[in-house]
Amino acid sequence: MDDVTILHNPRCSKSRETLALLEQRGIRPRIVEYLVEPPSAAELARIIDLLGIGPRELMRRNEAEYAALGLDDPALGREALIDAMHQHPRLIERPIVLANGKAAIGRPPEAVLAIL
Protein backbone atom coordinates (compact mmCIF):
# COMPACT_ATOMS: atom_id res chain seq x y z
CA MET A 1 0.00 0.00 0.00
CA ASP A 2 1.37 3.37 -0.97
CA ASP A 3 1.22 6.62 0.91
CA VAL A 4 0.77 5.46 4.49
CA THR A 5 2.25 7.71 7.17
CA ILE A 6 2.58 7.10 10.88
CA LEU A 7 3.18 9.87 13.39
CA HIS A 8 5.38 7.79 15.63
CA ASN A 9 7.05 7.95 19.03
CA PRO A 10 9.53 5.06 19.25
CA ARG A 11 9.41 5.25 23.07
CA CYS A 12 5.64 4.58 23.13
CA SER A 13 4.56 0.93 23.27
CA LYS A 14 1.27 1.59 21.40
CA SER A 15 3.19 3.41 18.68
CA ARG A 16 5.66 0.52 18.33
CA GLU A 17 2.79 -2.00 18.29
CA THR A 18 0.96 -0.04 15.58
CA LEU A 19 4.09 0.21 13.44
CA ALA A 20 4.67 -3.55 13.84
CA LEU A 21 1.03 -4.24 12.89
CA LEU A 22 1.47 -2.25 9.67
CA GLU A 23 4.76 -3.95 8.85
CA GLN A 24 3.24 -7.41 9.49
CA ARG A 25 0.78 -6.58 6.72
CA GLY A 26 3.58 -5.68 4.32
CA ILE A 27 3.03 -1.94 4.71
CA ARG A 28 6.16 0.20 4.90
CA PRO A 29 4.82 3.52 6.14
CA ARG A 30 6.59 6.83 6.03
CA ILE A 31 7.63 7.24 9.66
CA VAL A 32 7.45 10.73 11.11
CA GLU A 33 8.92 11.01 14.58
CA TYR A 34 6.60 13.84 15.51
CA LEU A 35 8.56 14.82 18.64
CA VAL A 36 11.55 15.55 16.39
CA GLU A 37 9.58 16.82 13.38
CA PRO A 38 6.29 18.25 14.73
CA PRO A 39 3.41 18.56 12.29
CA SER A 40 2.52 22.10 11.29
CA ALA A 41 -0.61 23.71 12.69
CA ALA A 42 -2.22 23.27 9.25
CA GLU A 43 -1.36 19.56 9.20
CA LEU A 44 -2.73 19.12 12.72
CA ALA A 45 -5.96 20.86 11.68
CA ARG A 46 -6.21 18.51 8.67
CA ILE A 47 -5.64 15.44 10.89
CA ILE A 48 -8.29 16.61 13.37
CA ASP A 49 -10.74 17.11 10.50
CA LEU A 50 -9.94 13.66 9.06
CA LEU A 51 -10.48 12.10 12.49
CA GLY A 52 -13.76 13.98 12.90
CA ILE A 53 -12.88 15.08 16.42
CA GLY A 54 -12.14 18.29 18.28
CA PRO A 55 -8.59 19.38 19.10
CA ARG A 56 -8.84 18.42 22.78
CA GLU A 57 -9.68 14.87 21.75
CA LEU A 58 -6.27 14.67 20.07
CA MET A 59 -4.49 15.92 23.18
CA ARG A 60 -2.81 13.89 25.87
CA ARG A 61 -4.42 15.59 28.83
CA ASN A 62 -2.21 13.87 31.40
CA GLU A 63 0.97 15.49 30.08
CA ALA A 64 2.47 18.13 32.37
CA GLU A 65 2.29 20.71 29.56
CA TYR A 66 -1.49 20.40 29.41
CA ALA A 67 -1.92 21.69 32.96
CA ALA A 68 1.06 24.06 32.84
CA LEU A 69 -0.30 25.80 29.75
CA GLY A 70 -3.84 25.99 31.13
CA LEU A 71 -5.22 24.05 28.16
CA ASP A 72 -8.26 22.91 30.12
CA ASP A 73 -9.60 26.48 29.82
CA PRO A 74 -12.90 26.15 27.91
CA ALA A 75 -12.39 29.65 26.48
CA LEU A 76 -9.47 28.42 24.37
CA GLY A 77 -10.49 27.99 20.76
CA ARG A 78 -9.52 25.48 18.11
CA GLU A 79 -6.57 27.48 16.79
CA ALA A 80 -5.06 28.05 20.24
CA LEU A 81 -5.28 24.33 21.04
CA ILE A 82 -3.80 23.32 17.69
CA ASP A 83 -0.99 25.85 18.12
CA ALA A 84 -0.27 24.41 21.57
CA MET A 85 0.09 20.92 20.06
CA HIS A 86 2.38 22.26 17.35
CA GLN A 87 4.55 24.07 19.91
CA HIS A 88 4.45 21.15 22.40
CA PRO A 89 4.18 17.95 20.34
CA ARG A 90 4.22 15.75 23.46
CA LEU A 91 0.58 16.82 23.78
CA ILE A 92 -0.38 14.98 20.58
CA GLU A 93 -2.05 11.60 21.08
CA ARG A 94 -0.13 8.81 19.42
CA PRO A 95 0.27 7.05 17.16
CA ILE A 96 -1.66 8.54 14.25
CA VAL A 97 -1.81 6.73 10.93
CA LEU A 98 -2.76 8.52 7.72
CA ALA A 99 -3.82 6.46 4.70
CA ASN A 100 -6.29 6.68 1.83
CA GLY A 101 -7.30 10.24 2.73
CA LYS A 102 -8.26 9.10 6.24
CA ALA A 103 -6.72 9.13 9.70
CA ALA A 104 -6.88 6.88 12.74
CA ILE A 105 -5.36 6.88 16.20
CA GLY A 106 -3.70 3.57 17.05
CA ARG A 107 -5.37 3.10 20.43
CA PRO A 108 -5.74 0.20 20.26
CA PRO A 109 -3.29 -0.47 17.41
CA GLU A 110 -5.94 -2.46 15.50
CA ALA A 111 -8.01 0.73 15.15
CA VAL A 112 -5.83 1.76 12.21
CA LEU A 113 -6.83 -1.27 10.16
CA ALA A 114 -10.19 0.37 9.38
CA ILE A 115 -8.52 3.00 7.15
CA LEU A 116 -6.23 0.67 5.21
Catalytically active residues, by annotation = 12
User: What are the distances in angstroms from CA 102 to CA 4, 7, 16, 49, 94?
Assistant: 10, 14, 20, 9, 15
Total Cβ atoms within 10 A of residue 39 = 19
